[in-house]
Amino acid sequence: MSTHPTETDSYPRADVTPPSGSLFPHKHLLGTWNLDPVSIKHILDTAEEYVEQNRRAQKSTPKCAGLTQINLFFENSTRTLMSFEIAGKRLGMDTISMSTGTSSIKKGETLLDTAATLNAMHPDVLVMRHADSGAVKLLSEKMDCAVINAGDGRAEHPTQALLDALTIRRRKGALHGQTVVISGDVAHSRVARSNIYLLSAMGARVRLVAPPTLLPKDVDRLGVEVATRMDEGLKGADVVMMLRLQQERMQGAFLPSLREYFRFWGLTAEKLAYAKDDVLVMHPGPMNRGVEIASDVADDIDRSAIEEQVEMGVAVRMACLDILTRNLRGEAA
Ligand code: NCD
């Protein structure tokens, strides 16, 4: 059983829930902590159809034509921002992206003023990334439209967990019963949190493997197994998800040196031998090669699913945009 984020990372109340009884009874997608298996499966099944569509030469449909999607990114991003842009365009939406460098936030505008300004432009979906945990939820309360969290601080990154789940389900046939190891800088990782909630809800066994300084303070409340050595931690793993060392979120000394870190915690072929033979290697990107993962492991075409994760990302985001706008388009969610 997973628990809610800690106080600083928390979303104290559940989302608005119209229409009740639908497969996805949420107005926004702010995290995975409040998603039940039915909603998760609904998103993944919908995404499967988009995987097929994205592999065709003709990739766009006018399904969401006339709707406006704003991507508002207050933190750097390559793959997530592009993925959301491509996803919106493939559904025929008018997609506009704004990042901090060009916004009035630099001129001192508060987040709530930004929300009011954007709201007045009548977007239908707002996709937002912000360095502070809880900022996306705060903004969602001021917006009339659906809001998707594209990563807030160290709290949640729901579409990453959904695309990871889709990747695992396609490769392993199911999520239930899989032993998934999440290893590296768990303490600073919103990807880890969203994955913990989602995978636990779907009946996977989650094990965190990290040095004690990189485990979250509330680790006991997360309802997962914990190991602090790679050999014991990787034993019996079906999936190993490596996380980037997020040095931009570290204040003070968490590690001796990057070389030491690689030696003890970096995923090498040698360490991977402790996992199951058919283990799947994943990484949300961007990767620090030679820090948390060795290049030959990242590029191992038999075991690495890292590029596939990127592919699944577009399909999952199309599914989220589609499902969250069904109400507007007069369809059942
Ligand atoms: C992650 C993020 O930004 O949370 N990247 C991503 O979205 N693909 C992980 C990271 O930055 O390490």
DSSP of 141-206: TT-SSEEEEEEETTTB-HHHHHHHHHHHHHHHS-STT-EEEEES--TT-HHHHHHHHHHHHTT-EE
pLDDT of residue 114: 87
The protein residue with its alpha carbon nearest to ligand 1, atom 7, reads 80
pLDDT of residue 69: 98
CA–centroid distance, 12 to ligand 1, in Å, is 24
Please tell me the least confidently modeled range out of 102-111, 182-191, 291-300: 102-111
**Best CA proximity match to 206, nearest among 238, 231, 228:** 238
Please tell me the least confidently modeled range out of 106-115, 119-128, 152-161, 287-296: 106-115
Place of tokens 């599914």: 319
The protein residue with its alpha carbon nearest to ligand 1, atom 12, reads 244
CA–centroid distance, 19 to ligand 1, in Å, is 32
Residues lining ligand 1, judged by CB closer than 6 Å?
Answer: 79-80, 151, 157, 160, 190-191, 244, 246, 284-285
**In the chain, % of residues over pLDDT 90:** 79
For ligand 1, pick from 157, 164, 193 the residue to mutate: most ligand atoms within 8 Å of CB.
157
Question: What whole-number distance in Å separates Cα of residue 143 and Cα of residue 111?
Answer: 12
pLDDT of residue 101: 60
**In the chain, % of residues over pLDDT 70:** 90
First to last CA, the chain: 27
Q: What is the mean pLDDT of the chain?
A: 91
Q: What is the largest CA-CA distance in the chain?
A: 56
Residues paired with 126 in a beta bridge: 70, 147
pLDDT of residue 14: 38
pLDDT of residue 254: 67
Question: What whole-number distance in Å separates Cα of residue 103 and Cα of residue 113?
Answer: 12
pLDDT of residue 103: 55
Place of tokens 């992206």: 97
**Residue 310: CA count within 13 A, CB half-sphere:** 11
Which residue did the predictor score with more confidence, 158 or 15?
A: 158
CA–centroid distance, 150 to ligand 1, in Å, is 9
Q: Which atom of ligand 1 is nearest to the CA of 79?
A: 8
**Best CA proximity match to 145, nearest among 13, 10, 29:** 29
Q: Judge if the upstream peptide bond of residue 37 is cis by omega within 30 degrees of 0.
A: no
Q: Which atom of ligand 1 is nearest to the CA of 244?
A: 12
pLDDT in tens, 234-270: 999 999 999 999 877 776 666 778 898 999 999 999 9
Give how far Cα 127 sits from Cα of 29, 83, 87, Å.
Answer: 9, 11, 12
pLDDT in tens, 202-243: 999 999 999 999 999 999 999 999 999 999 999 999 999 999
- B/e letters for 98-130, b = 16+ CB within 10 Å, e = fewer, are bbeeeeebeeeeebeebbeebeeeebbbbbbbb
Q: Which atom of ligand 1 is nearest to the CA of 313?
A: 8
pTM for the whole thing?
Answer: 0.92
CA–centroid distance, 283 to ligand 1, in Å, is 9
Name, in order, each residue with C-beta under 8 angstroms of 185's C-beta and a sequence gap of 6 or more: 210, 214, 243, 244, 245, 246, 292
pLDDT in tens, 56-95: 999 999 999 999 999 999 988 889 999 999 999 999 999 9
Q: Which atom of ligand 1 is nearest to the CA of 80?
A: 7
Question: What whole-number distance in Å separates Cα of residue 227 and Cα of residue 99?
Answer: 38
Residue type, 164: D
For ligand 1, pick from 79, 83, 152, 191 the residue to mutate: most ligand atoms within 8 Å of CB.
191
Question: What whole-number distance in Å separates Cα of residue 92 and Cα of residue 68?
Answer: 9
pLDDT in tens, 275-311: 999 999 999 999 999 999 999 999 999 999 999 999 9
Once rounded to an integer, what is the mean pLDDT over residues 161-172? Answer: 98
pLDDT of residue 107: 58
pLDDT in tens, 11-25: 433 344 445 678 999
